[in-house]
Structure 1
Amino acid sequence: MHNNSTIVASADQATLISAVIKENFNHWIEAQSAMTQNWLKSSGFKAEAGQFQLLMNEQGDVVEVLLIIDNEDDFWSFGNLSRLPEGCYSFNNLPISEELAAVAFALGAYRFDRYQESKKPGPQLLVADELTRNAVNRQVDALCLGRDLINTPAEDMGPQDLSDAVGALAKEFKAEFKEVIGDDLLTEDYPAIHAVGRASHRAPRLLELNWGDKSHAKLTIVGKGVCFDSGGLDIKPSSGMLMMKKDMGGSAHAIALAKWVMSVGLKVSLRLLIPAVDNAISGNAYRPGDVIATRKGLSVEIKNTDAEGRVVLGDALALAAEDKPALVIDFATLTGAARVALGTELPACFTNQRDIETELRELGEDMADPVWPMPLFKAYRNKIDSQIADLSNCDLGGYGGAITAALYLEEFVGDCPWIHFDVMGYNKRALPGRPEGGEIMGVRTVFAYLEQQFSV
């Protein structure tokens, strides 16, 4: 699991890392010693972006690391340096921002080793400037906390464990924390969260954290916390269930963003809401065909118990909209349809604020943390009509599933400014700085947007 040992403030000695832009490599190598030139040639070094090579002196000691990057925006290539031998390193004459390079280095060095007896130490990076080091650690700590939450198996990441994580965050930042548990969800009017989570021996709950000056703009972040999704009575096949520990990935994104917002001291009145449940099977599981109540007052016909994420989010989003915040953001591992449309590495983004769509997409490109706007296409709203209730929880037709899910959620936020992210939350393949496993997607882009909106 993540710890703070990757970025260090001082070291007895550190090996220099020299980053060279690919098109400048020939010029760079001309200035090197004959020994370095011969070594790179004999080792078959191709000078491709992301490739690195250890450079040695005549005694065979490593004295420098050469890294090739594609251009001045290619900070992710620094994530490949996680494969360096154990030791301390520092940057030398960087062609890009030290902060970005250090973030990629640290995110690449992330390992989830909670269940491994042997914990192999990785490379460390010396960042002497305190402001830069603190900025790197705030970002990396938030993102890696989210990764840890997703990677933890459901046995150790149930509703109570999510509660513990949010409670620890509240304690760290002197925030208010409360939760509504089990049958109290009915008493306090969260019937949809209760309906989905009641079949598990681990009681469903609604987690709430509040932080910041109440006079500042209200920002509410909501995360889907389905700690394990069996599919309910519409049970998933075994292959579909294998990765369902990550179905609380939306809550991990929300927690990571909240941690980052608080650590920076963004000028907002922050509210974090997480409906935390297991979608389990037992004699009292909610059933296909049931009509359930919601906090919004809308009745919902359950067409499929495996479309449970939007059901629990409905109650949380209704609560979020009640005090009319400046912005509501939700994150959810909501639909396979979004993955079919955009693949696993591009989060779908829906918003009822049209002016935000282009800004988020362009920010995502600038941050190399892409999000992609998708339409709240109103002509599809009738696909979630019900003959016996106000709406149904899904369209069984199978087309436009990410859109109809977003339209369902919109029913619960009304006209409150709102952004919804449908995310994978998991790297299916290893990329520079992004190991295979739990991943926090789009949050760097969202944080950059929030900094623009709420920094003053």
Structure 2
Amino acid sequence: MSVSHIVTAKPEALDHLIEAAAAPVELLPLTKPQFEAWLTQATPAEAAWLAALDFSAQEGRHALLPTVEGRLGRVLLAVEDGSPDLWAFAGLPETLPAGDYVLAASTPPALAETLSLGWAVGGYRFSRYKSKEAPAPARLVWPEGVDRPSVIRSAAAVGFVRDLITTPAEDMGPADLEATARSLAHRYGADLTVTRGEQLLEQDYPAIHAVGRAAGRGREPRLIDLTWTGSESGPQVTLVGKGVCFDTGGLDLKSPANMKLMKKDMGGAAHVLGLAYLIMDAGLPLRLRLLVPAVENAVSGEAFRPLDVLPTRQGLTVEVGDTDAEGRLILCDALAEAGRERPDLLLDMATLTGAARVALGTELPALFCNDDELATAALTVSTQEADPLWRLPLHRPYKRFLDSKVADLSNIGSTGFGGAITAALFLERFVPEGAPWIHIDVMAWNTAGRPGRPEGGEAQGLRALYALIRETVRRGGWR
């Protein structure tokens, strides 16, 4: 089974960032005050041209300046004061005329790095199933002083996650997720253990087995377990990702409209695989464990049923109020196993609830956390990285909505309200008390294209969570 379209031998090969060019066009970033000062030195023709374009350095806009011979001579980029916005530059590879560009030597280093990352991410394309190649994006000469490995790593991780999510379920089933994890393990010298099919029952992962047992041959449920050591004495970070490779809803069948995007229901797994790539590629001094329960929630005579009572690895019994609330069922077994080691950080990611999308929209992942200091740190880096997260509460009184008359708890709330909160509270029942835990409820999909963010699978919160882990470890935290 080949996954070369997902984990390439060299994911850092970004052909739209280049070493040098014979005659590149200069990109000149200017804040509004800088533009006004520059305009005093501009030629009358340049000033008239910019006036005709109604260009006054409005944030996010750019202007093409022609030479007297009619060629493209320079591009002005309007940038904001303070922290530059990554996404203000991500559309440039597609919107600028094809050719080679170079940043002006006066560009501040922090701005050059942000622009480079925006350019790298903005050149992403998902072309696996296209018979005809699209025109090549504009190319940027690497600016001097930029941390190339960091830019390459971040851009590769975003593309990696997008590829996984956008790939159709026929080519991204449980076995394909396993192959992807195996490829990462091989590349970075990690250990990989996979528990499949009936082995799940033998090794006490009954909820994962129940959700995935209806899938056909070759698509059996499994638990993917990757471990990697960057430092024997480093903190333990455990990542758990929901890997529902396609969700029909099970016997509580989704409508066609609601089923259409369900290839993205493994978006949580894609994100934690991307995080694992970032951590291992950077060689962070920590101990990493990655757990991905990978299943297909299919319909057959083997499917689990509404009001079945499922055992779990934690020992709690769960009444199935809805077979379409399957993600939390597979996560509960994985979280119980993850918590057994009491990691210094336990982080799970999942495309878990429509309720989170109703509350926050599709572009803002919901963050739940049982530690206020940890939550504040996560929100701070999300702002710094232009990779937003928004905290929702673990409102304890809502735990009563998960009560079941016949089991320890139900997998759905008894009210139609607060669905994202009750889902997070369900997961928390399987996290050891006092263990630092973050749960991210993510859309993992761009419903419409924007500059640098095409319609399709999307990495949301990925860079923020990596920055949280990286900076905490650098400061000697979690120890």
TM-score range, shorter chain: over 0.9
SS of residue in 2 equivalent to 1:97: helix
Aligned partner of 1:159 in structure 2 is 174
Distance 1:181 1:401 in 2: 31
**Does residue 457 of structure 2 align to residue 438 of structure 1?**
yes
- Whether the 8 Å CA contact 2:35–2:56 is kept in 1: the answer is no
**Of the candidates 67, 79, 98, which is equivalent to residue 90 of structure 2?**
79
SS of residue in 2 equivalent to 1:450: helix
Following TM superposition, by how much is the alpha carbon of 1:34 offset from its aligned partner in structure 2, in angstroms?
2.6
Give the aligned residue type for 2:69: Q
Which ranges of structure 1 fall in alignment gaps of 5 or more residues?
none
Aligned partner of 2:71 in structure 1 is 61
Distance 2:375 2:15 in 1: 37
Following TM superposition, by how much is the alpha carbon of 1:419 offset from its aligned partner in structure 2, in angstroms?
0.5
**Does residue 216 of structure 2 align to residue 206 of structure 1?**
no
Aligned partner of 1:31 in structure 2 is 41
Choose 406-415 or 350-359, whichever is displaced more: 350-359
SS of residue in 2 equivalent to 1:440: coil
Which digits, 9 at most, give the CA deviation of each residue in 1:64-90, with x for residues without a partner? 211112333232211121222222222
Choose 304-313 or 104-113, whichever is displaced more: 104-113
Distance 1:291 1:131 in 2: 56
Aligned partner of 1:98 in structure 2 is 112
Give the aligned residue type for 2:127: D
Choose 89-98 or 306-315, whichever is displaced more: 89-98
Distance 1:13 1:323 in 2: 57
Distance 1:377 1:406 in 2: 10
- Within a 5 Å distance, the mapping from 1:20-419 to structure 2 comes to 20-45=30-55, 47-75=57-85, 76-82=87-93, 83-92=95-104, 93-95=106-108, 96-120=110-134, 121-129=136-144, 132-201=147-216, 202-212=219-229, 213-415=231-433, 416-419=435-438
Following TM superposition, by how much is the alpha carbon of 1:396 offset from its aligned partner in structure 2, in angstroms?
3.9
- Whether the 8 Å CA contact 1:332–1:421 is kept in 2: the answer is yes
Aligned partner of 1:426 in structure 2 is 445
Following TM superposition, by how much is the alpha carbon of 1:128 offset from its aligned partner in structure 2, in angstroms?
4.7
Which digits, 9 at most, give the CA deviation of each residue in 1:202-243, with x for residues without a partner? 111111111113332110011111011111111111110111
SS of residue in 2 equivalent to 1:381: helix
**TM-score normalised by L of structure 2:** 0.91
- Whether the 8 Å CA contact 2:331–2:427 is kept in 1: the answer is yes
Distance 1:263 1:402 in 2: 33
Distance 2:327 2:50 in 1: 53
SS of residue in 1 equivalent to 2:246: strand
- Whether the 8 Å CA contact 2:64–2:72 is kept in 1: the answer is yes
Give the aligned residue type for 2:197: G
Distance 2:100 2:331 in 1: 45
Following TM superposition, by how much is the alpha carbon of 1:190 offset from its aligned partner in structure 2, in angstroms?
0.8
Give the aligned residue type for 2:436: P
SS of residue in 2 equivalent to 1:356: helix
Give the aligned residue type for 2:283: G
Following TM superposition, by how much is the alpha carbon of 1:359 offset from its aligned partner in structure 2, in angstroms?
2.2
Distance 1:85 1:167 in 2: 40
Following TM superposition, by how much is the alpha carbon of 1:131 offset from its aligned partner in structure 2, in angstroms?
5.7
Distance 2:414 2:15 in 1: 49
SS of residue in 1 equivalent to 2:183: helix
Aligned length in residues: 456
Distance 2:91 2:39 in 1: 21
Distance 1:314 1:90 in 2: 50
Sequence identity, in percent? 45
C-alpha RMSD over aligned residues: 1.7
Which digits, 9 at most, give the CA deviation of each residue in 1:391-450, with x for residues without a partner? 111114211111110011011112221100001111223334322221111121111211
Distance 1:244 1:29 in 2: 52
Distance 1:119 1:335 in 2: 36
1:130–1:270 distance in 2 versus 1, CA, 3 Å:
farther
Distance 1:108 1:419 in 2: 29
Distance 1:328 1:383 in 2: 25
Choose 39-48 or 172-181, whichever is displaced more: 39-48
Give the aligned residue type for 1:182: G
SS of residue in 2 equivalent to 1:66: strand
Choose 235-244 or 62-71, whichever is displaced more: 62-71
- Whether the 8 Å CA contact 2:442–2:460 is kept in 1: the answer is yes
Give the aligned residue type for 1:80: G
